Structure 1
Amino acid sequence: MASLTLNSENREDVAAALAGDRWIVACLCAAWCGTCASYRATFDELAERHPDKFFVWIDIEDQADVVGDLDVENFPTLLIQHHEMVAFFGTMLPDVGVAHRLVQSTAAQSDADLQELIINSAERAQWQRECNLRSLLRDAL
């Protein structure tokens, strides 16, 4: 299954999908970004490799009311989340092999392991407050 693009018509469906137990992998990009345009096929390939996870493509300008306050420093930026825990938020090299290993290793962590990382990292604690895609989307509905 390819990734889903978040838009104003499917927000409730995406929010419902995010509420489940699946890992969430979101790519935050912009339409004007050439790297993002070329990365889309890579992101869809990544989604095909991980059919048990929910992949969503988010244009940060089109969906500014959802993700406007996120500090996206460069493109593409991946956000990986399980339940209410943001496990990764950062710029990703546009390489399917690197992204695959990141998703695979992140999803191999237990919730207890993720919680431990959050407790011991100020940056990860900040992700929980600012980058929780479930909360951001709920607030935008």
Structure 2
Amino acid sequence: MATVDITGEQFASTVEDNDIVLVDFWAEWCGPCKQFGPTYSAVSEKHPDVVFSKVDTEAEQQLAAEAGITSIPTLMAFREKVLVFSQPGALNAQQLEQVVDAVKALDMDEVHAHVARSQAEAAAAAGKQDGTQIPGA
């Protein structure tokens, strides 16, 4: 599958409607982004089951800010709507293949359980901070 450009309006639906989504945050003026682009495109052709998307941080500044992008290129990977990888810097083809393989190999039941535990712990901590009592906490 070739890469697909996405906007802020398309970001949520792209992540929600697909099992595995990689997102390359880039800009036209960024030298490392230009070097990574052909690698990203070539690896995308080997994985038709993965959405390889690109976000132009100049055109989509609000999305880049909401995603916490402070350095480009930054690669994010989502699986079953969960952010499972985020790293700034250009990867070579072998490194990108390793990321794709690792994301595909994740035990998502375990990942979802970890997310649920983390959210429960955060909610319990927030309850203690504002003085409210959470039942069972």
TM-score (normalised: structure 2): 0.72
User: Larger deviation: 103-112 or 16-25?
Assistant: 16-25
**Aligned-partner SS, 2:22:** strand
Question: Residue in 1 aligned with 2:19?
Answer: 22
Sequence identity of aligned pairs in percent? 20
Q: Say if 2:76 and 2:85, in contact at 8 Å, map to a contact too.
A: yes
Counterpart of 2:58 in structure 1: which amino acid? E
Matches within 5 A, 1:120-135: none
Question: Residue in 2 aligned with 1:78?
Answer: 75
Q: Say if 2:35 and 2:90, in contact at 8 Å, map to a contact too.
A: no
User: Larger deviation: 64-73 or 75-84?
Assistant: 64-73
TM-score (normalised: structure 1): 0.71
Matches within 5 A, 1:1-141: 1-7=1-7, 11-12=9-10, 16-118=13-115
Work out the number of aligned pairs and report it.
120
**Aligned-partner SS, 1:68:** helix
d(CA) in 2 for partners of 1:6, 1:96 = 22
d(CA) in 2 for partners of 1:45, 1:79 = 17
Counterpart of 1:4 in structure 2: which amino acid? V
Counterpart of 1:61 in structure 2: which amino acid? E
Unaligned runs of 5+ in 1: 126-141
Unaligned runs of 5+ in 2: 123-137
Aligned alpha-carbon RMSD (Å) = 2.6
Deviation at 1:78, TM superposition (A): 0.8
